[in-house]
């Protein structure tokens, strides 16, 4: 198991050989460099540490993002070499990890899909959550109650995302469907 880090470019669509329209999210994987290799003897497991996008302003960490991917053996990778979209050749599905769009403070209708109350006949219950707890027992609001609060801006993982397009010259990856997050968001692809 290895992987690559990319940036979300946006969405488009492609037409397959059957004439069907497929929605595609385009990712650009540029400058993935293996910073170090972790071995079973020294660290207890095999992994590669990838640095993504060089950052000339920071001397201690010259990359915007570093990500560790587990591998089966350390012989096929070398520190300092670049990982390109060639690693995805022949791969049909990947596991994506990204940060979702932040929606700020949201009410229960938007956040948890609650139904609204009646709009007329003197009702004061329009977009309110309603009752949030019992009476004397349990005498408190239980943990995990669906209420208004911060929505989005969380780590989201999508498993079995299909790779439908690869362009090795421009380092582009096409994933079927949507990918969490906004444009220019960093996406981790694990094989």
State yes or no: pLDDT of 78 exceeds 90. no
Q: Is the separation of the CB atoms in 146 and 107 below 8 Å?
A: no
Q: Give CA–CA dist 116/123, Å, rounded.
A: 11
In the chain, which residues fall in CATH 2.40.30?
3-101+156-190
Q: What is the pLDDT of residue 65?
A: 86
State yes or no: pLDDT of 97 exceeds 80. yes
Cα dihedral sign for 4, 168, 166, 13? positive
Model confidence, pTM: 0.84
Q: What is the pLDDT of residue 154?
A: 96
Q: What is the mean pLDDT of the chain?
A: 91
96-125 average pLDDT score:
95
Q: What is the CA radius of gyration of the chain?
A: 23
Please tell me whether residue 109 adopts helix, strand or coil conformation.
helix
* Domain spanning 3-101+156-190, CATH class: mainly beta
Q: Which residues pair with 12 in a beta bridge?
A: 24
> Between the CA of residue 151 and those of 101, 109, 148, 156, what are the distances in Å?
9, 12, 9, 13
Cα dihedral sign for 34, 77, 94, 176? positive
Q: Which of 22-26, 64-68, 172-176 comes out lowest in average pLDDT?
A: 64-68
Q: Give CA–CA dist 118/65, Å, rounded.
A: 49
Map 165-187 to HEC letters.
EEECCCCEEEEECCCCCCCCCEE
pLDDT digits (tens, 9 = 90+) for 100-112: 999 999 999 999 9
Q: What is the pLDDT of residue 58?
A: 67
Q: What is the pLDDT of residue 189?
A: 95
Residue carrying structure tokens 């022949």: 90
């Amino acid at each position: 198991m290895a992987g690559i880090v990319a940036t979300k470019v946006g969405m488009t669509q492609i037409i397959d050989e059957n004439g069907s329209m497929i929605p595609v999210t385009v990712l650009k994987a540029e400058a993935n460099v293996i910073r170090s290799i972790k071995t079973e003897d020294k660290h207890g497991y095999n992994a590669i540490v990838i640095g993504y996008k060089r950052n000339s302003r920071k001397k201690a960490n010259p990359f915007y993002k570093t990500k560790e991917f587990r591998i089966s053996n350390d012989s096929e990778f070398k520190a300092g070499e670049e990982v390109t979209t060639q690693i995805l050749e022949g791969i049909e599905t990947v596991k994506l990890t990204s940060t979702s769009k932040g929606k700020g403070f949201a009410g229960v209708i938007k956040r948890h899909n609650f139904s609204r109350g009646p709009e007329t006949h003197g009702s004061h219950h329009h977009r309110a959550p309603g009752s949030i707890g019992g009476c004397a027992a349990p005498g408190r609001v239980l943990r995990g109650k669906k209420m208004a609060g911060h929505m989005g801006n969380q780590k989201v993982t999508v498993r079995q995302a299909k790779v439908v397009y690869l362009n090795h010259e421009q380092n582009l990856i096409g994933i079927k469907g949507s990918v969490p997050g906004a444009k220019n968001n960093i996406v981790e692809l694990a094989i």
